[in-house]
Structure 1
Amino acid sequence: MSPNALIPSHRKPRRPSASSRALRAGVTGGFLTLAVTGATVPANAAEKPVSETQEMPTITTALATSAARSADTAEQVAFNYERQALQDSAFSQAAKAAEKHKSEAVKKAKAAAKKKAEEARKAEEAAQARASRSSERSTLSAPSSSTATGSTATLVSFLKAQLGKAYVLGSTGPSSYDCSGLTQAAFNQIGIDLPRVSQDQSTQGTQVGLDNLQVGDILYWGSAGSAYHVGVYVGGGNFIGAQNSSTGIVERPLDYDMPTGAVRVL
């Protein structure tokens, strides 16, 4: 038997080390609970593990609500900035488009005004050219007052010399005439060549009113271009013409057989 068999041991029981403890954490009932459980239990301890608890308040509902509101506010601010940026961009684009449209409208208006002014200028030049040509023709064709007076006198003198001669259809003188044959022969005396028939003679020269007659105007009966009879106004309200086979060449007042119209070739 060993001499040390009955000698009790004097070594003290070992305490559990810090490294043998386990840390457990949990949230229960709105509080943070820390539990430290020993791996071994002293001899004088109870059978169940010893728990050391310490309660700490968690983040309150007010703080959570405030944080949520702050996040919403930040998100709203960001959204407002983005919306404002989009609006500014849209306004800028609209302003540029409006400026472009305005510029195009101004260009079109200027082009239209320029075109209108050019058309007016051309029309004025054309009118001036026509007036100039008309004036030149009048200057070249119109006889002087003395010449006209002389031509009229010659014309009337010839017509009066034919009074009493016979009317013969288709005759052009010198012993007999029809109505258009007499007027053609009379104007040949002063160098004016008239067409042969009444219809054509009624469209010569310029149409004049019966209230504005001058000596030498050709009178016609019927309508211009289809007249059936002609004579010559000799002044004093009278005309001379080859009327018909019964009367021959006579001088009569206008109201004897009022003409339809008159033309002026002098």
Structure 2
Amino acid sequence: MVRPSNWMNLPTKLISPTGKQVVFVTNNSTKSRADYRKKLEGLGIPSTVEEIFSSSYSASIYISRILQLPENKRKVYVIGETGIEQELGSENVKFIGGTDPAYRRDITPEDYKRIAAGDESLLDPEVGVVLVGLDFHFNYLKMALAYHYVKRGAVFLATNIDSTLPNSGTLFPGAGSMSAPLIMMLGQEPVALGKPSQAMMDSVEGKFKFDRSRTCMVGDRVNTDIRFGLEGKLGGTLGVLTGVSSKEEFVSGEIRPHAYLDKLSDLLDSE
């Protein structure tokens, strides 16, 4: 299993001729599996949609196939982007929120009153799940609605709880930053469906039927990728210094991979 960003600029001969099954596992919920396949294709990396396992897909599977929701509580309130919406749609799960422009506004004094009164024009009575992912238009209104849905009994889920997002050589708020205020308000942790959650590992194993003892997790972040592999009792974990974690973390941190490389293409030099 591998984090998709670690395959950038990697010769395809390291992937296909080995006869090994490759699964691309990502916590990025803003893109669907189809979006990721296009991205990998643009990098010259062969893949199919079925070889990609995203946190948005993992959450959609969990909602549609594992959660036992009442008939009248099967709608999902989404904090997130189109990747979540597309994957929920692929599982025929109804949802509100997400990229709907109606939620991309400031809260008003009237909103407070309507939410407090349980006005169904703001609080949909069919919502049984709140799903939180990375949302580039996160605001107070979205947060307030999510809080009240959970207080009314909705299941609290998160695509992933990454605190930060690497971009342009630095870090920005990650999906966990969307969940954090809700956790503080509710005094409740969400069920997380991305790395390092073993719910995601179980889902991947259920789909691909692999032997954990003969599987290696490749990634650049110790608290998600490497922890995912270690807690999943995979045969190996391989850290790469092309992303978030440093060599010092790989060598002497609390969570350490079995081995590490400067970049994944270094494997070619060992042939």
Q: Is this a same-fold pair by TM over 0.5?
A: no
Q: Which of the two has higher C-alpha Rg?
A: 1
Return the structure number with greater relative CO, CA threshold 8 A, min gap 6: 2
Q: If each structure's helix is expressed as a fraction of its own residues, which one has the higher value?
A: 1
Q: TM-score with structure 2 length normalisation?
A: 0.20
Q: TM-score with structure 1 length normalisation?
A: 0.20
